[in-house]
Every structure is written in C-alpha cells, then in structure tokens.
Amino acid sequence: MDLKQIKQVIDLMKRSDLTAFELEEEGFKIKIKRGADAVPLVHTSRIASTTYADAPLIEAVAAPRAQAAAGPASTAPAGNPGGDEVGIAYIKSPMVGTFYRASSPESKPFAEIGTKVSETSVVCIIEAMKIMNEIQSELKGSIVEVLVENGQPVEYGQKLFKVKRD
C-alpha cells in the first residue's frame, strides 16, 4: 500500500463514520484510527509473513465512540439485566451490515450452540461496505442460541447470540 492509497483511506474515513481501519498482507500491516474530533493516526509496520486461509485480509474495527455511548457490546450486569434471564447476556452487533457465521461458505461456523467463548473469541463476521469485520464475543460463557440467520442483514445493537455467562 503506497502513500496515495493511505491518503484515500483517510479521506474515506473523514467522509464516513469509520473510525478505525486495519490491513494486513504479505508482511505488511497498517492500522489507522481516529477519535471523535481527532486527526487520523496512521501506524504501519512490517510483520512476519503469515497466511491464514480462512481469515479475511481486511478488518475494520468497530467505532469506539459508538461503543462508548452504548457501553461494550453484549455486556450487561450479572444480575437480571432488563428483565432477561439471570446469567444470560447477548452478543450484539457493533455495526450495520450482513451477518455471516463463518469466514467462507465451506468453513465451519465460528460459534455454534454449546461453543465456549472468551472475551476475544471471534463469533461471526459482519460485512459492511465490502469490508469483512470479525466480531469478538467480549464476554465469557457458552453460546445458548444463535439469533440471526447466516447472510441476513443486521442493525447496530441487534442481538446476535444468546450467551450463558460463566
């Protein structure tokens, strides 16, 4: 990726609500983040070449200010959050896009009923503006129910998975 392409990404970020961008390919990694009123920050580095057959090459990070306004996605008080079942929490969509349970149609789903998840477990992918975003659980427990069908559109804050907390 050359300087001209980096500037195009920054311009795209300025024109949209995108606040973070990350690209990793063939020993090169770039991460661009900006705050609510801050100038974009560009960080690039060379990394060891690693290939992941099922991993997307581009990952955009969910908008931190949206998470700050709504709290961390899918976390709720351990008690009885909003009248829901005790010990149950939900993994919610941090963005609008298309929900995918696996990295490709041939791959097995990231998370199924009974799957144990930790705070950093990838549970699905949401495609937004042709960018594949890996969504992490952000909580610890077991998947009880998958609430969205593969390939369906999702909204910001929509419940994706029902999780029994550990």
User: What pLDDT score does 150 carry?
Assistant: 92
Confidence of residue 5 (pLDDT cuts 50, 70, 90): confident
The mean predicted confidence, pLDDT, of the chain is 74
Closest by CA to 12, choosing from 68, 66, 44, 60, is 60
In the structure encoding, which two tokens stand for residue 105, read together?
């149609």
Across the range 125-131, mean pLDDT stands at 90
CA dist 80 and 95 (Å) reads 25
Q: What average pLDDT score do residues 125-149 get?
A: 92
Q: Which of 139, 132, 155, 137 is nearest to 22 (CA)?
A: 132
Reported confidence tier of residue 23, pLDDT bands at 50, 70, 90: confident
pLDDT by residue (tens digit) across 50-98? 444 443 333 334 334 344 444 444 444 444 444 457 889 999 999 999 9
The predicted pLDDT at position 140 comes to: 93
Residue with tokens 């961008």: 21
In order of their start, the domains of the chain are 3-51 (no CATH), 71-165 (2.40.50.100)
pTM of the model: 0.50
Q: Does residue 120 contact residue 91 with C-beta atoms inside 8 Å?
A: no
- pLDDT band, very low/low/confident/very high, at 32 (cuts 50, 70, 90): confident
Say how far apart CA 86 and CA 78 lie, in whole Å.
7
